Structure 1
């Protein structure tokens, strides 16, 4: 799992921070999480995770409040959670997660974006077996040993804790996201460079030249689709 989270954080910040697109995506995700359970993060673990992730992207409070209020008011808009798997240039692997109120539209948009940009959409399960669902945190100010010790003391299981540049990275099972957060919070750690649920590739591939240009364009266009929430891949960038 060689994902370089500092690089990813910087690239995503440059592209997403402060943009209407990322706010809209979080607004939809918060609404869905709040509607599926209680509109209170203290009794809704899924909502709590989304709100913590939104915090790392500086999503404004009014966006969050509007989405939760919409769910409280019994908003009638329903969204399906969808996953599309496929391949980019030179056999690279891509997973697209979406929230859609029109499945046919979303499927057509994703398929067309793959096909017009050097990729092709596969069947369900075509590439996801090569990825691991993972909770990821990146924080500063404590060493990997210090973080691991406090997590052990809090009886929280993690996959790995390591240092990358000036950050300490934590990998854990997705269902441990809130447990990790609470253990860190108990030690006064409430700010993260990264707090995400992601799909980590088991192995990464390298692309160069025209393949890399096509791949990056494909990822950008997939991420720009209205219904797409997350795009994961196995290309080392």
Structure 2
């Protein structure tokens, strides 16, 4: 079968691992959203949002349903949100968000992920001050003027509204996430967002030039990808990741 078969098998294994992690990620998010509110997306906007995002990532229905059933039962699993900050090659900046049932274990694993790749885990607050924490929405069933009027009437504190290609992008402070989301649902309970998230957006960006720096960058992302507790990774590097 030779080299071609080995490459194809490795690619399939990597795809399967990525899919497994995505499923595990949304299983936790949906479970927590259901436990913190009602386990019914029709009466829990945060849960509805989590399920919608999961479906966009092609998470199977049985994974979503198992998470909901788990939340409805007497299960007492508890996950804690944890955020880690660190420095990559050429003083690049990283923020790693996790959802874990064992914070001590996760901290050790994240520290190892940075160290083994040649990066460095920092202290709390060492990186976040160089990012903005924004609520970001994108819709494709309303125009910019309609969105602006809707959010102004609801007294939402929005930073920017702009048309980007076929979507209208709304940027607000992270604290406005629930209010903006609920405002859209108030006029359309079946609203489907193209994008719906709270994200860390860097104030400045850097481009890696040295091959050694690119190798560290890709290895760090690979290491973090292998950890099922990792939910999101934000950084200020403009280079495309090598697959």
Question: What residue number does 1:8 align with?
Answer: none
Unmatched tracts of structure 2, length 5 or more = 1-14
Length-normalised TM-score, structure 1: 0.81
1: distance between equivalents of 2:142 and 2:136? 16
Contact 1:33 1:46 in 2 (8 A): yes
**Cα pair distance change 1:92/1:112, threshold 3 Å:** same
Shift of 1:131: 1.7
Contact 2:45 2:182 in 1 (8 A): no
**Cα pair distance change 1:206/1:143, threshold 3 Å:** farther
**Cα pair distance change 1:167/1:199, threshold 3 Å:** same
The structure whose RCO (Cα within 8 Å, separation 6+) is larger is 1
Q: Over aligned residues, Cα RMSD in angstroms?
A: 2.6
Count, aligned residues:
222
Shift of 1:167: 2.5
**Cα pair distance change 1:140/1:37, threshold 3 Å:** closer
2: distance between equivalents of 1:192 and 1:45? 13
What is the SS of the residue equivalent to 1:145?
helix
Q: 1:173-192 CA distances to partner (integer Å, 9 max, x unpaired)?
A: 33433433343342688233
Q: 1:123-142 CA distances to partner (integer Å, 9 max, x unpaired)?
A: 11111122222111122354
Contact 2:52 2:192 in 1 (8 A): no
Shift of 1:36: 3.3
Q: 1:92-114 CA distances to partner (integer Å, 9 max, x unpaired)?
A: 11111111122232112111110
Contact 1:136 1:195 in 2 (8 A): yes
Q: Is 1:218 paired with 2:220?
A: yes
Length-normalised TM-score, structure 2: 0.79
1:55-74 superposed matches below 5 A: 55-74=55-74
